Amino acid sequence: MSWEKELEELRARETLAEQMGGADKVARQHSRGKMDARARLAALVDDGSFREIGKIAGKGSYDEEGNLTGVLPAPFLFGKALINGRPVVATADDFTIRGGAADAGISRKMVQAEKMAHELKLPLIRMIDGTGGGGSVKTLEQIGATYIPAVPGWSDVVQNLDTVPVVALALGPTAGLGAARTVASHYSVMVKGLSQIFAAGPAVVDGLGESYKGSVDHQQAKEDLGGSGIHTRNGVIDDEVASEAEAFARARHFLSFMPEHVGQLARRAEPTDRADRREEELLSLVPREDKQVYSMRRCLEMVFDRGTVFEIGRMWGRACITALARLDGWPVMVLASDPSYLGGSWDAKTSEKVERFVKLADQFRLPIVHLVDNPGFMIGREAEMAGTIRYGVQAMNAVYKASVPLASVVLRRAYGIAGSAMSNAETFQYRYCWPSGDWGSLPIAGGLEVAYKSDLEAAKDPAAELDVIRARLDKVTSPFRSAERFNVEDIIDPRDTRPLLCEFAGLAWRRLESER
């Protein structure tokens, strides 16, 4: 006797699961410009690689004789898949079933997905679309009581952050637990116009007295409260993209730089760019006029392997560019001052961003390359109100605590405490300086009148005397004077930056491989 009858029931249940919330709900999802959960999983992972776990889990309906008449699937899908040929845990909320709310599902399913990631040491991708939380006010009436909230399996979410790369893609309105699951990641993305994130949606906020009823419609209210234009600029979310397809591509790209888990090293890509490439344009990149800006992003394009710079968090903490890139095929974390924003001065948000990415590099054992043009921490009343010095010191602490190799290249300015935060002065300084270097405890130009006040007051022509003092100090501030005293290790031809950093990358990865 075979078990064909039972297998027929299994196939029937699987077919019901594939219908998700039903044809009408799926059509409504598509009419909003959103892919359904199953289509998202297929688009994210390598073709045909997704193996679903718990496909038939849900709420069955039965007739009086106990025969199955229908199934409401759990609004959460997960399974094992491949991305770039490497195993991952891929998950997706199904908004077509109760808006993805957890009270329509089985909490153990989501918990098992999180456990699978850290116990098997597999990268985790969450595609989040819905609340994912404890349900509605009606749910409480059905229960007949309220309760102190708890999140089943949140300790697994925390453990994943310490164990494997976690990517979160917000692909619709995400509130409450959905928002928390998005933020609890190493890399996060929102789709412009499609995704919103909030602790509570507009209707709840309205009920508490802060009205969004002035918005044109409900969709606009959601954008006004938690659109990507807000959260990719305050640091809650890393990046904003134009489409779901772009979100999937960025998730795959991010993971290509990462190891599969803490304790494993990331992979070197086949080098496609000459390590000894020297770019003539670098020689004139930094202007002689110290107040003129230049494109640091153009510098990154010329220094790192062509086409490999993957910037993260472009819209927040803008005084420092953070990116992943490759040098002779080796993956590295990049920090780079942006003189076009606040002159490169680190404000509170920039410092917060730097701290986060230095810790990310240290956790996943990626060498750090820091391109420096920093006139100091941001000053002024607004900077003090924002607590800039606290965040700045935390960024500095992260640099000093990092145990991965770090190389810095001082293109121009390195002043004050922020200047000392560019690398760990207590370790071997793998550091190069361009001839355009300008550094010190404070910018000399800003303190001449105070430092030489008596000389200027005694002079017949104070303006002329100030010019004489300035010319004299210009010689003292020459980077070659610092090199004489070995206060800087090497002044280099800017065109040699890439070959020297490729040399660093090779040595850095040699050391990291010795840690295994």
Q: Which residue, 341, 332, 340, is CA-closest to 286?
A: 340
Q: What are the phi and psi torsion angles at 295 (to 5°)?
A: -90, 105
> Would 3-257 and 280-515 be classified into the same CATH topology?
yes
Q: Which residue, 190, 192, 191, 209, is CA-closest to 200?
A: 209
Whether 121 and 163 have beta carbons less than 8 Å apart is answered as yes
Rg of the chain, C-alpha, whole Å: 28
Q: What is the pLDDT of residue 114?
A: 97
Tokens representing 119 are 């116990």
CA gap 242, 224 in Å, rounded: 18
Q: What are the phi and psi torsion angles at 487 (to 5°)?
A: -80, -20
Q: Which residue, 400, 361, 401, is CA-closest to 266?
A: 361
* pLDDT, tens digit, 9 for 90 and up, residues 9-26: 999 999 999 999 899 999
Cβ within 8 Å of residue 476, ≥6 positions away: none
Q: What is the pLDDT of residue 468?
A: 72
CA gap 418, 373 in Å, rounded: 10
Whether 432 and 409 have beta carbons less than 8 Å apart is answered as yes
Class of domain 3-257 as given by CATH: alpha beta
User: What average pLDDT does the segment 243-264 reach?
Assistant: 98
Q: What is the pLDDT of residue 446?
A: 56
Write the DSSP symbol of residue 186. Answer: S
Of 152-161, 205-214, 376-385, the range with the lowest mean pLDDT is 205-214
User: What average pLDDT does the segment 488-495 reach?
Assistant: 95
Domain ranges of the chain: 3-257, 280-515
The β-bridge relationship of strands 320-327 and 330-337 is antiparallel
* pLDDT, tens digit, 9 for 90 and up, residues 182-197: 999 999 999 999 999 9
Of 47-51, 363-367, 380-384, 435-439, the range with the lowest mean pLDDT is 435-439
User: What average pLDDT does the segment 69-78 reach?
Assistant: 91
* pLDDT, tens digit, 9 for 90 and up, residues 292-331: 999 999 999 999 999 999 999 999 999 999 999 999 999 9
Res 208 pLDDT > 50: no
Q: Which residue, 365, 249, 273, is CA-closest to 327?
A: 273
* pLDDT, tens digit, 9 for 90 and up, residues 25-50: 999 999 999 999 999 999 999 999 99
Beta bridge partners of 196: 173, 227
Q: What is the pLDDT of residue 136?
A: 59
User: What average pLDDT does the segment 203-208 reach?
Assistant: 51
Whether 79 and 26 have beta carbons less than 8 Å apart is answered as no
User: What average pLDDT does the segment 421-438 reach?
Assistant: 93
Q: CA of 450: how far to CAs of 446, 454, 455, 457, in Å?
A: 9, 9, 10, 11
Third-level CATH fold of 280-515: 2-enoyl-CoA Hydratase; Chain A, domain 1 (3.90.226)
Tokens representing 315 are 């819209």
Q: CA of 55: how far to CAs of 17, 38, 52, 168, 210, in Å?
A: 7, 11, 6, 22, 41
CA gap 484, 106 in Å, rounded: 69
Arithmetic mean of pLDDT over the chain: 89
CA gap 399, 501 in Å, rounded: 19
User: What average pLDDT does the segment 108-121 reach?
Assistant: 96
pLDDT band at 484 (very low <50, low <70, confident <90, very high): confident
Of 119-123, 341-345, 415-419, the range with the lowest mean pLDDT is 415-419
Rama region for 414: left / alpha / beta (φ>0; ψ in -120 to 50; rest): beta
Stronger pLDDT, 352 or 215, i.e. the higher one? 352
pLDDT band at 198 (very low <50, low <70, confident <90, very high): confident
Q: What is the pLDDT of residue 454?
A: 74
Long-range contacts of 336-339 (CB under 8 A, 24+ apart): 336/296, 336/299, 336/300, 336/370, 336/371, 337/296, 337/371, 337/372, 337/373, 337/374, 337/411, 338/296, 338/297, 339/293, 339/294, 339/296, 339/373, 339/412
CA gap 282, 262 in Å, rounded: 36
User: What average pLDDT does the segment 57-75 reach?
Assistant: 88
Q: CA of 199: how far to CAs of 96, 173, 203, 227, in Å?
A: 21, 11, 12, 12
Cβ within 8 Å of residue 169, ≥6 positions away: 125, 126, 127, 128, 188, 189, 191, 244, 247, 248, 251
CA gap 406, 299 in Å, rounded: 18
Stronger pLDDT, 257 or 213, i.e. the higher one? 257
What pTM was computed for the model? 0.91
Q: Between vectors from CA 78 to CA 73 and to CA 84, what angle results, nearest 5°? A: 145
CA gap 299, 324 in Å, rounded: 14
Q: What is the pLDDT of residue 212?
A: 55
- Chain Cα centroid distance, residue 512: 23
Res 448 pLDDT > 70: no
Res 132 pLDDT > 70: no
User: What average pLDDT does the segment 115-127 reach?
Assistant: 98
